[in-house]
A and B are shown apart, each in its own frame.
Chain A
Amino acid sequence: MRSRSEIGARELLREVGAVLRMSEAEAAKLGQVPADPDEDQTMIINMGPQHPSTHGVLRLMLELQGETVLRCKPIIGYLHTGMEKTGEELTFLQGGTNVTRMDYLSPLNNELVFSMAVEKLLGIENDIPERAVWMRMLLSELNRMSSHLLFLATNGMDIGAVSMMLYGWREREEVLRFFQKVTGLRMNHNFIRPGGLAADLPPGWRDDVLSILETLPPRLAEYDILMTDQPIWRERLQGVGVITADEALALGTSGPILRSTGVAWDLRRDQPYLRYEDVEFDVIVGTYGDAFDRYAIRLNEIRESIRIVYQILDRMPLGDYRIQNKKVTPPPRARIDESMEALIHHFKIFTEGFKVPEGEVYVGIESPRGEIGCYIVSDGGPKPYRIHMRAPSFVNIQALPHMMRGGLVADAVAVISSVDPVLGEVDR
């Protein structure tokens, strides 16, 4: 095999061998009985699905020559529970409980994209009250921070910085505690719903957010000392899992992987949704497209999120937290006790659901892992006719063979970790 530096990006992509083109049964035979003594030089081994650093149940088939990875094929589906099929059986109001479980590390972004798609179908996307919009931004950014903090933890553990694992989980816990106070749950909130949110922010929320924002920066500075400036850390990540901008675009990757190659593509800035055009932040890009760039991008995105959340705190308007549209909003709890109509209305919305006009819509937003998209087809009924989630991790892990090719087995773990896949979202 010629080395990566000798062949062009185009050829690398077209190389059929980049993905193992054989069935699992054939591959297993190949691994056991070498047909030719010379071919004994390479072997096919399995990594996962029960490997501690494959982040869930990702399985990789690796073809190795000594310590070098020749080819790699990600095998997924171990966590497939048919969530898109389930989504067709749930009403638009219940759909949030389903989508929130896909990317379980950034559930609020899943709910957000689903709600935005439903609102666009209903034609009410411009009528959402200001407070609801800014609350959604607050939750989305805090979720980005918690997700990236967990990345730092798992990435640290995979590379061998075990103390980072404890620090990352500790910081994430602070954010989750705030989510628990606001939504009642640490994960799978079903808090962002079509039309707005489930409830208003609790009293004292501002102090809680401020305490998170004040705790984090000194700790991020600690991580810089612990990892960014540390020679061992750099040796393990720099130049590992390199991908070029052309490859990343052709493979459809998004988020930190695409940005690490120098393409400044962030949907928050390039196709603004919510009120992202009203806040100031920088899109962090890398230069070399390696694992270190992806680490550095996520670390600095936490800092940008802190910057955004400070602006949200300054500008959080007063007002309603959900749209007052009788069609999608249940009546206030107090009204149910005094009005028969309100009771019927409440009952109808929660049993039958609301009808959504016929049509199809695709909405994409920037989740911590990249572009999360929601494609919904409605036939005019209370349930989606088809719901498809464009999961960023599903697309991103298909870039693994290109990142790993020609690298070392020991680096495979670093590369998987730098993609930060969430298998719940990959398999759906």
Chain B
Amino acid sequence: MTDVQESQQPETLHGSPVTWSRGQKVVHPSRADYIKVLKKLLDDGYSMCSDLTAVDYLTHPGRELPVGVAAERFEVVLNLTSIASRDRIRVRVQVPESDASIASTFDLWPGTEAMEREVFDMFGVSFDGHPDLTRILMPEDWDGHPLRKDYSVGRIPVQFKGANS
């Protein structure tokens, strides 16, 4: 359902393929190009990183991606905002399950510090170069990453004092 712009040449931005999703420009850099593309976007005026999150596509593998981008289990999603041109752009990066790590954007937007910690906490994707990659919402000694699709929605047996189980 993504309205890919009709043209002969596939659209690219800073060397990475571009798609359009509900009227929103989406860039799909590879993991190797990730920081390079973000740096160029920062130079383009996207001075604010509004949001950084991730999606676990374990049970929904058949999503639409541009040619040349192989679907992986995790996807890190950034929503950047340009104050000058009042514009937004979305960045989606594929992160494989076997090596769930990606470079940190802390040096570009220090505000992503907490958001990256949240993604690490909830999805177990680690960010190289992050100054303090620890759990942020869950307790420090928690096992597992709750927002992964193979993490069940908690059915902790409720035990009442004095009840015979």
Residues of A participating in the B interface, judged by any CB pair closer than 8 Å: 13-14, 16, 19, 21, 23-24, 76-77, 80, 82, 84-86, 89, 120-121, 123, 249-254, 263, 265, 270-271, 357-362, 364, 371, 373, 375, 377, 379, 385-386, 388, 390, 394-395, 398-399, 427-428
Contact = CB atoms under 8 A, between A and B. Distances in A.
Contact of A23 (B56, B90, B134): B134
B111 A395 contact: yes
Interface residues of B, number: 46
B69 interface: no
A377 B111 contact: no
Given A271-B86, A390-B79, A398-B111, A359 B1 contact: yes
B137 A21 contact: no
A379 B60 contact: yes
B137 A80 contact: yes
Contact of B24 (A362, A388, A427): A362
A390 B51 contact: yes
A375 B79 contact: yes
A343 to B, nearest CB: 31
Say whether chain A's binding surface is mostly helix, strand, loop, or mixed: mixed
A360 B51 CA distance: 14
A394 B131 contact: no
A371 B50 contact: yes
A395 B24 contact: no
Contacts of B41: none
B63 A361 contact: no
12 contacts: A77-B138, A77-B139, A82-B154, A249-B47, A252-B48, A271-B86, A271-B88, A364-B50, A375-B77, A386-B56, A390-B53, A395-B111
Contacts, number: 114
A359 B50 contact: no
A86 B24 CA distance: 27
Contacts of B21: 359-361
A359 B2 contact: yes
By CB atoms of chain A within 10 A, which of B48, B49, B55, B139 has the most? B48
A388 B122 CA distance: 12
A362 B90 contact: yes
B15 interface: no
B110 interface: yes
Given A252-B109, A395-B114, A84 B49 contact: no
Contacts of B115: 395
Interface string B57-93: 0011001100000000000010101010010101000
Say whether chain B's binding surface is mostly helix, strand, loop, or mixed: loop
A371 B81 CA distance: 11
A153 to B, nearest CB: 28
B143 interface: no
Nearest to A253: B111
What 6 A-B pairs come out closest when comparing CB atoms?
A: A252-B111, A251-B111, A390-B51, A77-B137, A379-B60, A80-B137
Given A361-B22, A362-B88, 12 more contacts: A19-B131, A77-B137, A250-B47, A252-B48, A252-B109, A361-B24, A362-B79, A364-B88, A371-B50, A386-B147, A388-B53, A395-B111
A265 B138 CA distance: 33
A80 B147 CA distance: 13
A253 B112 CA distance: 11
Given A21-B132, A250-B110, A270 B24 contact: no
B17 to A, nearest CB: 16
A13 B147 contact: no
By CB atoms of chain A within 10 A, which of B51, B59, B63, B135 has the most? B51
B140 interface: yes
A394 B114 contact: yes
A84 B121 CA distance: 13
A364 to B, nearest CB: 7
B63 A76 contact: no
Contacts of A89: 153
